[in-house]
Chains A and B, each alone.
With several copies, the nearest count.
Chain A
Amino acid sequence: MTERFLLSEKPIDEAAVAALVASPGAGALVTFVGRVRARSRGHDVDLLEYEAYPEMVEGVFHQIAGEVHERFEVAAIAIHHRTGTLRVGDTSVVIAVAAEHRPAAFDACRYAIDRLKQITPIWKKEHGPDGASWVDERP
C-alpha cells in the first residue's frame, strides 16, 4: 500500500491518493488537486521547479493531519506532493479527505491545503519568457 503522506519526484496518481482514504463509514470524499497554471501573478509560466527539505516534509504532513483530526470529524486524510520539474497542467499536490458527512470533509481539505502552503518546507521557482524567480506567496 502507498503511503498516506508522500513527497515524490514521480507523477501523482490522483485516484490512488483518493483510494487511500476510502472506508465503509465515509460517505463524503473531498479531494483537492493543485496543478501548474499557464499564468501566475501576471507572468506566463513554462515550468516550475520544486525544491523541498525532503527529510522534513512527510513529518510536516503528519503534523497537518494531526491538526485536521483535532479540528474536524474526519475518518482519514492523505497528502501527496511532487518535487522536481513540473510543466503546465502537471499535478503538484493532492489532498484527499474522507468523512462521514460532507461539511467536515470540505472544511478539513481546505484547512489542510491552506496549512500546507503556510508551513511545508517546499519552494518553487517559476521559469517563463520573463525569466525565473523564486515564488514568495507571503500576503
Chain B
Amino acid sequence: MHVTVRLFASHREAAGVREIVVDLPAGARAVDALAACRRTHPALPSTNSGVAFAINRAFAGPDTVLADGDELAVLPPVAGG
C-alpha cells in the first residue's frame, strides 16, 4: 500500500522534501512509515522522541495501523503561539 508522509520544520529541512510517498506492507504502523522514510532519506532525525503523528489530519498514536492512501503527518515538537 501507498502512504503519503508529510514533513515539517526540522524534518522537512533535514529530508530536503515536504512529502515522501512510501510503499508499505499491510499492517504497517505510523512509526514504520517514518522508519521507511529514514531509509530513503537518512538525514532525517533518528529519534522518535517528541515526535507526534496525525493521520488524515487527526492526531494518532505512533502504533496506529495505516491504510492505503492515508496521509501521515510527522509532527516534530510544536512551538506555536
Residues of A bordering B, CB below 8 Å: 34, 50-53, 55-56, 59, 81, 92-93, 113, 116-125, 134-138
Contact = CB atoms under 8 A, between A and B. Distances in A.
Interface stretch (B3-11, B25-33, B61-69): B3-11
A134 B73 contact: no
**Nearest 7 CB-CB pairings of A with B:** A122-B80, A123-B9, A135-B79, A120-B80, A117-B81, A56-B57, A134-B10
A110 to B, nearest CB: 12
Contacts of A124: 79-80
Contacts, number: 70
Contacts of B73: 53, 56, 121
Interface of B: 6, 8-10, 12-13, 50, 54, 57-59, 73, 75-81
Given A81-B80, A134-B10, A121 B75 contact: yes
Contact of B50 (A50, A52, A138): A138
B6 A113 contact: no
Nearest to B73: A53
A51 B78 contact: no
Contact of B76 (A52, A59, A123): A123
Contact of B81 (A34, A56, A59, A134): A34
Contacts of A123: 8-10, 76, 78-80
A93 B14 CA distance: 27
B10 A113 contact: no
A123 B54 CA distance: 15
27 contacts: A51-B8, A53-B57, A53-B75, A56-B73, A59-B57, A59-B58, A81-B80, A93-B80, A113-B81, A116-B80, A116-B81, A117-B81, A120-B78, A121-B73, A122-B81, A123-B9, A123-B10, A123-B76, A123-B78, A123-B79, A124-B80, A125-B9, A134-B9, A134-B10, A134-B13, A134-B76, A137-B77
